């Protein structure tokens, strides 16, 4: 194992939580390295005066009785401090956390030089899907032993440092010079590391630095479904295309793109980045990136000339110099680098690098819902000149349009974000303090409190708004912060909130938010979209009559329905079983289990993790195994059998490789939470909010869940639904019938036909056999 020729300590802590002084260290481990050679080790369990949380006992395998007769931190503080030594270079995985926790216990290392190995890995292992120690250990085959314990993490971190060092030494001489200049502006630890790099007369870039060219597909046959989607409806009329379950429509649509100067098809997807990961973008299709994913050249020039960099700024600057990315997707941004990008490098709507995307448009454009919804509503947006009579708006996954439009046209404020941005700005900090005092008083100790015009008309609100006006007159506010402050200004002016749902939210982690969203989305969509542009919505199978929140009652529609194929057939079973049976005996190698709440996930984690791991089963749990990107990476790399527990709402955003998952288990029907403010207020629009609004939204979500599963299920992969309400509740038969339509074996598909009838004055319908998928 080759290490940098430095002296340092690699350390790790196991703790009862994430908050210094509130949560405690229960284990410390470290390895001292002198001039690249291991010199000594230290490892100690530490007793605490409180119980170890059950989740921590499972995560660390440190039980309460293991701490009996162990020393307290007061007993070992001097020993640990002596082992680390004064001014020692500290190295660790996400080491900032350990430094904060040690400071909370009375060992202050904040002035010591430090290096985060997860950041080093993000520099030289851009091919990895995550930089968590567990995932990196699996993929790079690091010595991660003893598992779950502090010394195991130290051993794995030491090996990761060695592997990163090996890759640094492969850099060409020119990049070593650039790296030393950039890291010379950074924190002391990174300066020390990069100063030890020695040029070896390398001229070629190593293979790991060579960015893979995005996939480009050749055009294939034009399917009847794709051809019909491209048929441009007249303005004022919306075409609804009921998609089959098979997740192939969007790819077929892009592949069917044809040069046609008379029409420009704007294809909007819910999540552009996720879509690009699974799509092959053909030649002639242009991706329109939102401004936050593009780099502003002028801002990058200013950034490069900074005299001093934080560690995150320096690592991001290094990636810009090494990889010369066109957008954020071209580099492996990590941790707080995202904040640096958004605050200092990202484009705005006026940036040249963003606006040039709208010049010389090809026939087909790919963008996301949020971007489209924002610029169709903004008469000053650069896209407006391109949205001429040739424009045809096609919205994929339109069952999500209510939610994405609510977000796009909503006003939001995070108190934590505003307070972070107020550091060093006295007037903004004073305003933030006043705002927080008013919020605490107004919400009356409720986690969700709806604000009305009389709440926003009180003298203290007027005074807060006056303070905000003074803040906004100042210069130099970052664009993301300025946008939130402008949203606050609109929210606090009660005259702006007519027709809006306005509320205060306090979440479980203590974070506080202000929200103001339109109560009626359909009229806004009609004004901004349907009445101005030819529009086609791709919607779930048999859902044309249930889109009341995105289509005004007066809206004229044409419905296109497609016949099913074998790709739309799923083995779905309805069983009276417990989750326990699927945990103890998973179906196939990889199983995903959807649970309705984080609490249930935590309960099952506590109850079954140790038992399952003893049997060789890997278990991954939402909120206990990192964020979504990390969970996806660890699920992909995990030894089998593997079970992943998460909520249906999180699962909708999962992106995995095809042919990966053998079974999907749905424990409970994923209804919207009745206390969700937006859902509750919109339910009041109906005579029966549950039957006319809640159930359709459930059906739309079930379709999306099944479609997500179809993207990565194995050829024999099936679905099991466990909810007893399917047989015990009156509405259960309706939901079961909806699911059973996807169990039917595909019939031979007839040739496309067109047949129009008018069951209502406002709706045109084309028969079920009108289209074939292939």
Segment 619-672, tens digit of pLDDT: 999 999 889 999 999 999 999 999 999 999 999 999 999 999 999 999 999 999
| pLDDT of residue 772 exceeding 50 | no
* Nearest in space to 753 (alpha carbons), one of 766, 737, 744: 766
Q: Which tokens belong to 660?
A: 């990966």
According to DSSP, the residues that pair with 621 across neighbouring strands are: 645
The secondary element (H helix, E strand) that includes residue 74 is: helix 73-84
Give the mean pLDDT of 345-351.
90
| Cα–Cα distance for residue pair 235/242, rounded to 1 Å | 20
| pLDDT of residue 771 exceeding 80 | no
Q: What is the spatial order of strands in the sheet that 661-666 belongs to? A: 572-574, 713-721, 661-666, 590-594, 642-646, 618-621
pLDDT one-digit tens code per residue, 133-184: 999 999 999 999 988 899 999 999 999 999 999 999 999 999 999 999 999 9
pLDDT of residue 212: 61
pLDDT of residue 756: 37
| pLDDT of residue 747 exceeding 80 | no
CB atoms within 10 A of CB 505: 16
Tell me the DSSP string of 667-730.
-S--PPPTT-HHHHHHHTTSSSHIIIIIHHHHHHHHHHHHHHHHHHEEEEEEEEE--THHHHST
| pLDDT of residue 774 exceeding 70 | no
Give the mean pLDDT of 433-439.
94
Give the mean pLDDT of 101-123.
97
Q: What are the distances in angstroms from CA 133 to CA 122, 161, 227, 605?
A: 12, 11, 47, 20
| pLDDT of residue 503 exceeding 70 | yes
pLDDT of residue 296: 93
For residues 421 and 642, the model is more confident at 642
Strands 756-760 and 661-666: unpaired
| pLDDT of residue 203 exceeding 90 | no
| pLDDT of residue 185 exceeding 80 | yes
| pLDDT of residue 280 exceeding 70 | yes
Give the model's confidence band at 485: pLDDT under 50 very low, under 70 low, under 90 confident, else very high. very high
- Judge whether 93 and 153 are in contact, CB under 8 Å: yes
Contacts of 512 (CB under 8 A, 6+ apart): 414, 415, 416, 436, 439, 504, 505, 506
Q: Which tokens belong to 39?
A: 């010199």
| Cα–Cα distance for residue pair 255/770, rounded to 1 Å | 21
pLDDT of residue 260: 76
Percent of the chain past pLDDT 90, that is, above it, reads: 77
Give 749's DSSP letter: P
Give the model's confidence band at 750: pLDDT under 50 very low, under 70 low, under 90 confident, else very high. very low
| Cα–Cα distance for residue pair 441/429, rounded to 1 Å | 18
pLDDT of residue 148: 83
The gap between the terminal CA atoms of the chain, to the nearest Å, is: 56
* Nearest in space to 442 (alpha carbons), one of 464, 468, 423, 412: 464
pLDDT of residue 768: 34
Give the mean pLDDT of 290-305.
92
Give the model's confidence band at 216: pLDDT under 50 very low, under 70 low, under 90 confident, else very high. low
pLDDT of residue 187: 95
For residues 743 and 518, the model is more confident at 518
Q: What is the spatial order of strands in the sheet that 756-760 belongs to? A: 285-287, 364-368, 264-269, 391-395, 534-539, 237-242, 556-561, 763-766, 756-760
Task: Map tokens 């395998």 to a residue.
Answer: 61
| Cα–Cα distance for residue pair 37/304, rounded to 1 Å | 36
* Nearest in space to 720 (alpha carbons), one of 541, 619, 571: 571
pLDDT one-digit tens code per residue, 555-609: 989 999 877 666 678 999 999 999 999 999 999 999 999 999 999 999 999 999 9
Strands 556-561 and 534-539: unpaired
Q: What are the distances in angstroms from CA 718 to CA 473, 574, 656?
A: 59, 11, 16
pLDDT one-digit tens code per residue, 239-251: 999 988 888 888 8
Q: What are the distances in angstroms from CA 34 to CA 5, 112, 758?
A: 8, 17, 83
pLDDT of residue 154: 97
| Cα–Cα distance for residue pair 665/584, rounded to 1 Å | 14
pLDDT one-digit tens code per residue, 26-58: 999 999 999 889 999 999 999 999 999 999 999
For residues 380 and 759, the model is more confident at 380
pLDDT of residue 477: 81
The secondary element (H helix, E strand) that includes residue 666 is: strand 661-666
Give the mean pLDDT of 716-720.
94
* Nearest in space to 660 (alpha carbons), one of 253, 213, 278: 278
Task: Map tokens 């949020």 to a residue.
Answer: 370
Give the mean pLDDT of 716-735.
95
Mean pLDDT of the chain: 90
Give the model's confidence band at 382: pLDDT under 50 very low, under 70 low, under 90 confident, else very high. very high
Task: Map tokens 């990895």 to a residue.
Answer: 128
| pLDDT of residue 520 exceeding 50 | yes
Percent of the chain past pLDDT 70, that is, above it, reads: 94
pLDDT of residue 569: 80
pLDDT of residue 215: 52
CB atoms within 10 A of CB 193: 24
């Amino acid at each position: 194992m080759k290490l940098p020729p430095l002296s340092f300590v690699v350390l790790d802590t196991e703790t009862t939580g994430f908050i210094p002084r509130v949560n405690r260290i229960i284990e410390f481990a470290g390895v001292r390295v002198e001039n690249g050679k291991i010199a000594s080790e230290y490892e100690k369990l530490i007793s605490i005066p409180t119980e170890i949380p059950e989740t921590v006992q499972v995560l660390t395998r440190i039980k309460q009785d293991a701490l009996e007769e162990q020393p307290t931190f007061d007993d070992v503080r001097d020993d640990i401090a002596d082992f680390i030594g004064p001014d020692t270079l500290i190295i660790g995985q996400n080491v900032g956390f350990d430094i904060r926790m040690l400071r909370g216990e009375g060992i202050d290392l904040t002035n010591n030089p430090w290096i985060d190995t997860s950041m080093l890995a993000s520099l030289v292992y851009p091919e990895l899907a995550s930089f968590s120690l567990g995932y990196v250990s699996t993929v790079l085959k690091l010595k991660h032993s003893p598992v779950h314990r502090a010394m195991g993490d130290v051993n794995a971190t030491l090996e990761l440092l060695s592997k990163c060092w090996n890759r640094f030494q492969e850099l060409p001489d020119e990049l070593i010079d650039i790296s030393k200049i950039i890291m010379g502006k950074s924190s002391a630890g990174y300066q020390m590391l990069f100063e030890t790099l020695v040029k070896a007369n390398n001229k070629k870039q190593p293979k790991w630095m060579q960015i893979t060219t995005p996939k480009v597909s050749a055009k294939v046959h034009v399917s009847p479904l794709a051809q019909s989607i491209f048929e441009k409806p007249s303005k004022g009329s919306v075409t609804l295309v009921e998609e089959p379950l098979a997740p192939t429509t969007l790819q077929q649509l892009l592949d069917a793109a044809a040069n046609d100067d008379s029409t420009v098809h704007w294809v909007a997807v819910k999540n552009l980045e996720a879509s690009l990961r699974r799509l092959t973008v053909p030649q002639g299709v242009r991706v329109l990136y939102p401004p936050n994913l593009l780099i502003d050249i002028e801002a990058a020039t200013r950034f490069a000339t900074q005299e001093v960099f934080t560690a995150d700024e320096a690592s991001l600057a290094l990636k810009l110099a090494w990889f010369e990315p066109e957008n954020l997707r071209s580099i492996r941004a990590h941790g707080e680098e995202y904040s640096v990008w958004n605050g200092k490098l990202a484009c705005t709507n006026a940036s040249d690098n963003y606006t040039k995307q709208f010049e010389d448009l090809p026939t087909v454009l790919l963008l996301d819902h949020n971007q489209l919804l924002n610029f169709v509503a903004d008469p000053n947006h650069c896209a407006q000149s391109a949205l001429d009579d040739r424009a045809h708006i096609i919205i994929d996954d339109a069952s999500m349009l209510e939610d994405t439009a609510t977000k796009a046209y909503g006003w939001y404020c995070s108190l934590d974000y505003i307070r972070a941005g107020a550091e060093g700005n006295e007037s903004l900090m004073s305003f933030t303090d006043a705002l927080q005092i008013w919020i605490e008083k107004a919400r009356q100790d409720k986690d969700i409190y709806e604000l009305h015009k009389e709440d926003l008309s009180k003298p203290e609100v007027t005074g807060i708004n006056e303070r905000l006006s003074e803040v906004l007159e100042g210069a130099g506010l970052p664009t993301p912060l300025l946008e939130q402050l402008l949203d606050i200004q609109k929210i606090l002016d009660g005259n702006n909130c007519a027709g809006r749902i306005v509320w205060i939210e306090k979440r479980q982690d203590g974070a506080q938010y202000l929200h103001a969203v339109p109560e009626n989305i359909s009229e806004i969509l009609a004004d901004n979209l349907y009445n101005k542009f030819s529009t086609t919505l791709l919607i779930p199978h048999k859902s044309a009559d249930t889109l009341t929140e995105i289509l005004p009652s007066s809206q004229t529609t044409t419905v296109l329905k497609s016949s099913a194929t074998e790709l739309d057939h799923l083995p779905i079973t309805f069983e009276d079983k417990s989750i326990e049976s699927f945990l103890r005996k998973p179906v196939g190698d990889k199983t995903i289990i959807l649970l309705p709440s984080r609490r249930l996930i935590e309960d099952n984690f506590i109850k079954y993790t140790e038992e399952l791991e003893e049997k060789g089963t890997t278990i991954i749990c939402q909120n206990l195994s990192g964020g979504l990107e990390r969970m996806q990476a660890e699920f992909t790399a995990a030894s089998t059998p593997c079970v992943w527990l998460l909520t249906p709402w999180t699962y909708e955003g999962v992106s995995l490789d095809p042919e990966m998952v053998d079974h999907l288990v749905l424990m409970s029907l994923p209804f919207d939470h009745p206390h969700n403010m937006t859902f509750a207020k919109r339910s009041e629009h109906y005579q029966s909010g549950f039957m006319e609004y809640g159930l359709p939204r459930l059906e739309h979500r079930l379709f999306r869940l099944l479609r997500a599963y179809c993207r990565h299920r194995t050829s024999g992969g099936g679905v099991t639904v466990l909810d007893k309400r399917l047989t015990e509740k009156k509405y259960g038969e309706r939901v079961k019938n909806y699911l059973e339509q996807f169990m039917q074996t595909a019939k031979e598909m007839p040739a496309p036909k067109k047949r129009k009838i008018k069951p209502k004055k406002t709706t045109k319908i084309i028969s079920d056999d009108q289209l074939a998928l292939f």
